Structure 1
């Protein structure tokens, strides 16, 4: 039996965790056993099979029967954009917007760390000695590139972000590096940097960022954001790898749905479970785990630390990484494990906890192999009811292993990217609580080296819902356009 089939059988027999019947936006995600609780049987879905890439005929993905794809912007070979920029790798979070002439405009992150010359025009960079940022590319529905340019440069570790309903992408720096902070986990000196990092930036879908951080949305290890247009809050996840992570919300001083931009100067808050201070939600949860929440204020969301230019700063990276979170913890904020992808749908923000579940950690860090001992959780926050609920908790790595980026399909299915050290899948999680496979990475390098453990990231549907765009997040990154009968697949 192939490994893919074995994993499929294990998933079919596994129990789905979490979730009470609450009504409203939660009604669809009713947790039940995948093997037939409440009389339901999982719908049969086609097995994955090798499919050649329309770019060159190489097999890079396994997909359901009838699906096709094309890859583009493969940085295994140099790619030069229309503005003369040499495209960086490490393609990560991404948002899709309507483009001219029926094209799709993708704003794509590049999670590049460590000081070094900015890509693109250094004169326009936020920090000319930071190598991350975003590029924008116009493509057809089937992945044929029309044009591309640098839309933000001089930032660091642009991990994920979120598509805003007023027509912008918010990109997130997953770091607190800066000249005022000591070396991070890589050991590289931050002395060459000219600006503090750890912020979110806005990138209009049709142009260029103004390169100004939204500082009051916090300086911490940002991962992704999702905006609730009804409540007016921007929800933010934190992937603070070796420490507990927080779930935050930022309330801007002006309504971006009216102004068309996310203003600085608002209020940052952190989630706490009502009546249960510092509850460890990274630990394995009971079925039907549901929690009423409250929000505690972060009084100093954008710290800077004393330093002497040209010298290593006395403030350690670990101290800086936990500075904002410790303000929330002191008021009872909850602990999560490595919060990553987030998506808003019909009054609910869904977000993933990559190493959530399993036995509780014995301390609040630092934890060398990442805070959290499980294989992943999917949470849902009802923005109006102020209720947090566990949607799914992985029972083991053969079922769901380290969920990362997440998006929602036109039919309400969550599309989840895996980030583990073995086979990486794109999974679907339906409103009935069924987990199934959408795609499997079977990438090899030009020299034949196995790259099947490269993670998927940046999943986003075209505005018409017909194409799923997704990235391979690696030093030699690439982007895929995937299409097929999504309704038949249940996505």
Structure 2
């Protein structure tokens, strides 16, 4: 998440399914190493044509997008289909009713059922550097760090009923995931701390007082404890998706310059019984069975599917001495998995669990885009992939691979609609869209962001439907960030 702001510096379960037996330790070579045919929703939909960047035939979405004024002040901030309206709220710099000021860089978010028909939103803020904690510094994990989460109680039309800092003193809180017992997991996309060198942003890590790069659990009321779950790893976390049967938290890694991994954290007790995520569990990294080090960041054949295994990460929370370079520290966890044969991905970002399947995005995965697509820096040469991991049988399937930026441009946050359509937030180089990916494998445009004055790198983030599905909430990640509530004739299209 937020890669474009750094670019200048860088130039479904069911009966009869067999239980998959995960393999711990070093990956054993076995048969079935190559891709096998996929099954289920999205099966076989790997590329929307071979058009080299041209837009494929339009899918059945909601029709043409048009400029729509914001109900808050009449300014046009979004282009939406006919019949849809929206209201923006809680912009950066506004006052929180619980004290303090709303930070910028609104990012990952989830919606929960609130009292009296209201909605509880827990929202990340991807603030980096030693900016100083917002809210009450006495509650901060690190008083020098400016990221964290804000919790809001709102109406389904985006009217704020209450807002407060719920996690402060963290850094680069990118995405995360909702937990069914009533919590949000917030993920730090950094390994900054006083024990490692400065990152690409030029901040002064010596001003930080704590190590960063962890996940934190945030309750729906009050404040988070501020205790990181260290056994879930210190790496460049992006998203978290919970699978209740195993009690596993699936985690994505967004390491811009280097290979990224797909992980799962197995707590010592199922959080559904414990009521929270306990520290002290086991961290693992996904591998392709029989193909150690398989590079899945490369272009894939339509319908690609792989049998998988898991390798243990022996030291998920490494202690650094001698202040290593930030790039070195950022690979300390993933390198352990790669040395055991874990699979290689490019920039894993959004993740969501839906009926036994974890869908996740690889922002720069896939074949080198053709045509007039702008080049992307970092690791990965494609315009994006969407993957599906079946938690029941351990199969990994490619859902979609972008043929070019006109179809799908650098997918980031992901969620599902009430009908099971995937909702994708883009992190593209030019116009940014919220796009839908249907179960037939068709891409359609739902919303286009009007450029934010003074911030050409602004992007969509944190799409989440309110309980009941009548409202889609989505953020603008920017120093001038804000949140939208969008409503309209959902029954007329795919969401």
TM-score for both structures, normalised by structure 1: 0.88
Q: Residue 204 of structure 2: SS of its match in structure 1?
A: coil
Q: CA deviation at 1:369?
A: 1.6
Q: Residue 45 of structure 2: SS of its match in structure 1?
A: coil
Q: CA deviation at 1:83?
A: 2.2
In the alignment, the residues of structure 1 paired with residue 395 and residue 275 of structure 2 have an alpha-carbon distance, to the nearest angstrom, of: 29
Q: Residue 381 of structure 2: SS of its match in structure 1?
A: coil
Q: Which position in structure 2 is the counterpart of 1:401?
A: 409
1:283–1:372 contact (8 Å) kept in structure 2: yes
Match of 1:63 among 72, 80, 88: 80
1:442–1:452 contact (8 Å) kept in structure 2: no
In the alignment, the residues of structure 2 paired with residue 490 and residue 282 of structure 1 have an alpha-carbon distance, to the nearest angstrom, of: 29
In the alignment, the residues of structure 1 paired with residue 48 and residue 316 of structure 2 have an alpha-carbon distance, to the nearest angstrom, of: 42
Match of 1:337 among 327, 332, 346: 346
Given the superposition, is the C-alpha separation of residues 283 and 61 from structure 1 closer, same or farther in structure 2, using an over 3 Å criterion? same
2:46–2:400 contact (8 Å) kept in structure 1: no
Match of 2:102 among 87, 91, 97: 87
Q: Which deviates the most, 97-106 or 368-377?
A: 368-377
In the alignment, the residues of structure 2 paired with residue 22 and residue 477 of structure 1 have an alpha-carbon distance, to the nearest angstrom, of: 40
In the alignment, the residues of structure 2 paired with residue 83 and residue 44 of structure 1 have an alpha-carbon distance, to the nearest angstrom, of: 40
Q: CA deviation at 1:32?
A: 7.7
Alignment of 1:454 onto 2:468? no
In the alignment, the residues of structure 1 paired with residue 310 and residue 452 of structure 2 have an alpha-carbon distance, to the nearest angstrom, of: 46
1:242–1:368 contact (8 Å) kept in structure 2: no
Q: Residue 191 of structure 1: SS of its match in structure 2?
A: helix
Q: Which position in structure 1 is the counterpart of 2:276?
A: 261
For structure 1, the residue ranges without an aligned partner over 5 or more in a row are 1-18, 308-312, 361-366
Q: CA deviation at 1:304?
A: 1.8
Given the superposition, is the C-alpha separation of residues 29 and 101 from structure 1 closer, same or farther in structure 2, using an over 3 Å criterion? farther
In the alignment, the residues of structure 2 paired with residue 271 and residue 189 of structure 1 have an alpha-carbon distance, to the nearest angstrom, of: 34
Q: Which position in structure 1 is the counterpart of 2:390?
A: 382
Q: Which position in structure 1 is the counterpart of 2:139?
A: 124
1:271–1:296 contact (8 Å) kept in structure 2: yes
Q: CA deviation at 1:329?
A: 0.5
2:434–2:448 contact (8 Å) kept in structure 1: yes
Alignment of 1:317 onto 2:326? yes
- Counterparts of 1:365-380 in structure 2, within 5 Å, are 369-380=377-388
Q: Which position in structure 1 is the counterpart of 2:29?
A: none
RCO comparison, higher one (Cα < 8 Å, 6+): 2
**CA displacement 1:187-246 (0-9 Å, x = unmatched):** 222111111100000001122100000000000000001011112211000000000000
Following superposition, which runs of at least 4 residues in structure 1 exceed 4 angstroms of deviation?
19-23, 32-35
- Counterparts of 1:405-484 in structure 2, within 5 Å, are 405-445=413-453, 453-484=457-488
In the alignment, the residues of structure 1 paired with residue 320 and residue 456 of structure 2 have an alpha-carbon distance, to the nearest angstrom, of: 41
* CA RMSD between the two structures: 1.9
For structure 2, the residue ranges without an aligned partner over 5 or more in a row are 1-34, 50-56, 370-374
Q: Residue 359 of structure 2: SS of its match in structure 1?
A: strand
In the alignment, the residues of structure 1 paired with residue 339 and residue 489 of structure 2 have an alpha-carbon distance, to the nearest angstrom, of: 50
In the alignment, the residues of structure 2 paired with residue 368 and residue 355 of structure 1 have an alpha-carbon distance, to the nearest angstrom, of: 8
In the alignment, the residues of structure 2 paired with residue 147 and residue 98 of structure 1 have an alpha-carbon distance, to the nearest angstrom, of: 14
Given the superposition, is the C-alpha separation of residues 104 and 420 from structure 1 closer, same or farther in structure 2, using an over 3 Å criterion? same
Alignment of 1:50 onto 2:64? no
Give the total of aligned pairs.
Answer: 449
Alignment of 1:31 onto 2:45? yes
TM-score for both structures, normalised by structure 2: 0.88
